[in-house]
Structure 1
Amino acid sequence: MQDYWFYRCEPAFAQSPAIFDAAEACQFRTVGCSKDSEGSCQDGPDDWIDYEFLRGTVSPGSFEQTSAWAQNPVIKIHSGLRAVQQWGRHRWWGWATPARYAYLGTVEEPTNSLSSPYPRCYDMAYLIGLFNGVWNTRKDAEISVDAMRARDFVGQTYRGVLVKYQLFYNQSGCNRSAAACLEDVAEVFIQRGMELDQLLQRRWEIFWEQVTGQTDAPQSFANLLRSRVLNGAQTFIDWFDAYVTAARATVKTSSMRMLADPPTSADVASHKADLIDAGKKGYRAVLVAHSQGNLFANAAYDGYLSNAREAGAAVGEDTSYVAANVVHVAPASTRLIGPYVLAEIDLVIGALRGVDGGLVAPNTLSREDMLPSLSDLSGHTLVGTYLDPHRRAREDIRQLVVQGLDAL
């Protein structure tokens, strides 16, 4: 509301003798004159009178009072909008022949603060949330959050406003046992199948046939990894073969349970509730989703959007504005809500592309843009690959996050 006029008298803006035509339309006053030794105004040819014409009442965009919002003390309420009266000052030598005139500028005087019906103003409150991907323990995911909290990424504040960081954690099978990490891959296929509707049964059968006893078949998942994605990366091949062997017993006993009730359903409900709560507290969120976390972010965003629009409609507010944006990193989802970053060297997402026929989003970074690294042979981890400060993906992601914040 910078320089917002609450009252304005247009004729008073003249900067010529025409200002005296404003005497009939705008408030004016006499504020000075040339005086004699006794202090009385004189009327000689060199004497003058100063007039001020009221242009109007304007807000400079500042407030009398600041207090903390009860629902979230990070947000400050600014009320008692300050206002000033702006007068144009003019000097007139009325007894000279011919009469002379000069414009002397403007004078501002504080006036009473403007209250209702003018609205209170609120500080922004930013939230950056991370939806972690496959094979992430909680510690791994928290390290990823810390990487985004770094000063040269986004930092603790943005445009002078505090930024809250929140982990929307996806319970990883790796927390239970190394063998159970394979369940994370299974969850990806379950959720992707839901997005693909009629392809669920076919895709699921292909996946489980291969990892539960037919890994040597020509079209097995393992062989697809070897031939289409890994291109002879023996370390990764050995890693996958070891997991297939170790997880076989667990997979056989858990597959039907996972199909009927994926172990991530509680996470989805928790993420949705946390995001809705953040919205009620005034946070404007950018959700960074990595790998499998994109599936969870999509579900949480849908729930948040539905709740926000329902609540807005109930009180007659505009429901087209959404106070959250999504940035996808290495998306394992066929559906993208916002912009994304995906490297060609990502073997995990490449595996999904090789198995389900190319329904993964196209790469945004070629091998020339992002070279493989021995620090992360999979090319998939958030900190090891995508937030590596020495490679391009980090800056691409940072820019998308900043753009998301600005759009809020």
Structure 2
Amino acid sequence: MSKPTRTFLSFAISLFIITSTSLNAFAQPYEARNFCRDSGIIFAFFNGVQTTIGEANRALNEFRRIHGNERADGENIRYEVMYNYTDGLDDFVETFEQRVLEQEQILAGRYELALEIINGGGKWWQRLAELATTLPETRDDFINWYQAKIVQSLTSLAGNPPTITNYSEHQSRVDTWIVEGKQILMVAHSQGNLFANSAYGYASDKIDNEALNLVHIAPASPTTNGPHRLADKDLVINALRASGSVVGITDIIPGYLNRPGGLNGQTDILGHGLLEIYLNPALGLGAAVVQNIETELANLQPPETEFEAETGFFTATLTWNGAGDVDLHVYEPSGSHVFYQAMTGTSGYLDVDNTVANGPEHYFAACEAEKLQAGTYQVGIANYDRADGRTASLQIASFRDGVLGTRSVTLGPPTGDNPSHIMFDVEVVEDSETGEFEVIVQ
């Protein structure tokens, strides 16, 4: 079974888009609103151990504040969290409640003080210690448990490092950036280095080395793919060294009692925190980390790519594991059915169509307010031919929020132009007061 030739289709569609855009430029009675900021560089942050999504986003905002939204040459930078969840994070919450909150009634219901206890506390801690005589011992007991728990988690993960199969969400995001021709800087802290190494290895097989760099911060791994920084008094990595090899120390920092507060005003008794230690502007280490990142940003070069995919208000990226022809289908709110035979819809476009192996296929919804439609976009996939038994992965991401969902499915027999699986309902909602749009995945 074979498909119609698509070269002429693609050319005709491109010509139609260019012509329509040119005509619309004269017809628009108002200044067009564009919801997307074109960015040639992706700053991808891989968070550390025992980090919540909120904390990871706080760190990302600090990187954005430090490095800005543009490189020195004017190239725009877009920041995203490549979040990884720590096994045992729920145990951490439960243990804090058992070891601290239940023992000290003065702290009842105050879980938000957990990380402050680890980070030293400041004046509020001194006052609480006066009111609760066992509090210092309780803190020390909890910190010892916390350190052991982190080391156990990192040791376990290092022994079973991330693989392409285990971490398909990160790799699907990398596929989208590559097909869109982005320059990629990965920055990883602690546990995030294990995930970043996997993503880097995956990306390096598909993209020019000049378009991909990685900076390691307190790496919980003996393997590096770029410059690294490690403090001598990082007790977490020092504990890992006792059970296996880690990278060498690069910087000397003061002892805990003489350590200045970091970006969040805290000090981290374990010497491992990103905001407290490694981005601390009062430490030479903080300046060195920033310089490493600036250097790697400056060294990035645009990749050579066979694709010319666009960044959309939201995107759908389809990949699969091997030979075969798997098709991406999008049903837009207007009723338009976007797929290889009709690559231009009312609101979006199928701008990459792969007929040989692995993918990707790529759909993007328009960033222009006058073109983007509110409503439900159904996104499905079909084994057009030769992909029986293949695992297909589909990822939805928005310009504003990054990855919204990733799902995989094992394909059955060919179904031609009829999708066998509807993977996502993507809801685009318009705020009637502000005119802003939001993407919600169902």
Q: TM-score, normalised by structure 2?
A: 0.43
Q: Which has the higher contact order (CA 8 A, sep 6+)?
A: 2
Q: Highest Rg: 1 or 2?
A: 1
Point out the structure with the larger helix share.
1
Q: TM-score, normalised by structure 1?
A: 0.46
